[in-house]
Amino acid sequence: MRVCYFNPPWETDERWGIRAGCRFPNLTRKNSNAYLPFPFLLAYAAAYAEEQGAEVLCIDGIAERASPASVIGRIDRFRPDLVVVETSTTSLGHDLRVLTSLKEKLPECRVAMYGPHVDVRPQDALDCAAVDFVIRGEPERTSVELAKKLAAGESVDTVAGLVLRESAGGEGLAVLGSHRSTDRRALIENLDELPYPHRATLPMDRYNVPGFPAPVMFMYGSRGCPYKCNFCLWPQTMLKGSYRTRSGPEIAAEMDWALKAYPKTKSFFFDDDTFNLGRTRVLEFADEMKRRRLVVPWGMNARADNWDRELMERLIETGLFTLRIGVESGDPEVLRRTQKDINLDQVRETLELSHSLGIKNHVSFVIGMIGETEESVSNTVRYIKTLPVDSVQFSVAIPFPGTSFYDHVEKQGQLMTKDWDKFNGFEDVVVRTETMTSDDLQRAVTRARRQVYFSPTFIRRRLSYVRNLRDLSALTRKAARLLQWQSN
């Protein structure tokens, strides 16, 4: 049984694509310090397949900056029974073209796709002759069971978690446009039972989070999210219905292992939707880090609630140095309509606490959510200027299929296109609001960046981190890139 787990290359003349491991797939400007996430679900699936006795080839074409031709050649030499591909709304058209080329080279190989988009719109993949199956939900168990059936020449009709064409598991030709689903597979309940994700053949020095000491080791402490943010993709699609955590000691054990296996590792980033849920579990993690005498720089995605001074101080003792908090809007009404279930006073209190303890605060905001107006954008900018933050990220809203945000804008006639290539987060804005056009939203994002990044308060804070000529040079380069970006 041979299985290839594949994150296809995705690149244009001016931008790199970010897909596997990213909640908001997008095209980002080419930059050696750009965010590049680790393909967690792909890597977990590869590790699980290896544990089950499969011969595995795991390729991250994006991190490798590889050409489609070169990776197709490697897959051809491997001769897999099954190729498992992670896809996204934004990259789907590109991915299908890559897979069409792959099928021309390997017509006998079966191809399965998974990802949030095809989880809710499987027909968008199965309408392409190069795709034989769609995996719904988590890929680990379904991909292995599917590969075993294919290698044995058995019917796949009983494999849970599949969408397939009527004839894909039996005799005859597959019929485009005609598909059926097997029962949805239950999500993995005990994450501690999974092997550590496959890392051995991936370019571990390439994965990156700006502001983190490199190389960065990505980690998962949980899957899913119990909150109901209407724009958030994975908890409404592939991981719908469950929030599951790894135990604190198991997380610390993997960090200990990673530092030995990859001794060049300089920091860790927990790329969970929200790491800081379950105070007891998080404190058990801190206790295990202390028992193992592990102190290493690390950061997390976090909510701005579920914090207290003791919890934060205990984590700082283990190396916590930064929080990445999604605030989304500084306007109370827009924030309420995201269904994030948090208020701006809570955000301020947490950021003031973390700042007082020496933690670097990175906050992110989205412009173009339900109810956005010129006034609400101005409220967001004013609010940000009052916060003790070290970096700010602005994004334009993207209503991905499968989210209640998408359903709302489609119903209200505020979805500007269903050309999935345009859901890229940079060149195109695909929504409007009641009072703002898509062009208005794009200009608002540009204006907000300028008003925050070049405010006296923000400049003073950035200058306070300059300790030597290297720091000053880095800050100057960032400012130059920002000015170039703003002028385009």
pLDDT of residue 173: 42
Q: Does domain 209-453 have CATH number 3.30.43.10?
A: no
The confidence score (pLDDT) of residue 463 equals: 76
Phi, psi of 366 (to 5 degrees): -120, 130
Model confidence pLDDT, tens digit, residues 387-410: 999 999 999 999 999 999 999 999
| Spatial separation of the C-alpha atoms in residues 430 and 421, rounded to whole Å | 10
Residues of the chain with pLDDT under 50: 168-175
CB atoms within 10 A of CB 312: 19
Report the 10 Å Cβ neighbour count for 260: 9
The three-class DSSP label of residue 193 is helix
CA gap 395, 245 in Å, rounded:
28
* Cα 15 from chain centre: 18
Domain residue spans in the chain?
Answer: 2-181, 209-453
Give pLDDT, residue 241.
75
Q: Reduced to 3 states, what is the DSSP secondary structure of residue 254?
A: helix
The answer to whether residues 482 and 394 touch, using CB atoms and an 8 Å cutoff, is: no
Can you spell out the DSSP letters for 261-296? Answer: HSTT--EEEE-SS-S---HHHHHHHHHHHHHTT---
Cα–Cα distance measured from residue 372 to residue 447, given in angstroms and rounded to the nearest whole number: 15
**DSSP-based three-state secondary structure for 371:** coil
Fold match, 2-181 / 209-453: no
The alpha-helical segments, DSSP class H, found in 360-468 are 374-385, 404-411, 438-453, 456-463
Q: Give me the helices (H) in 23-110, please.
A: 40-51, 61-64, 68-78, 92-105
Q: Give CA–CA dist 218/203, Å, rounded.
A: 12
> How many C-beta atoms lie closer than 10 Å to residue 368's C-beta?
29
Q: Write down the pLDDT at residue 172.
A: 40
Q: What is the pLDDT of residue 170?
A: 47
The listed CATH number (3.10.110.10, 3.30.1280.10, 3.40.50.280, 3.40.50.800) that belongs to domain 2-181? 3.40.50.280
Residue 357: per-residue pLDDT: 98
Whole-number pLDDT of residue 479? 66
The mean predicted confidence, pLDDT, of the chain is: 92
As given in the structure block, the two tokens for residue 431 are: 């929504």
**Can you give the pLDDT at residue 33?**
72
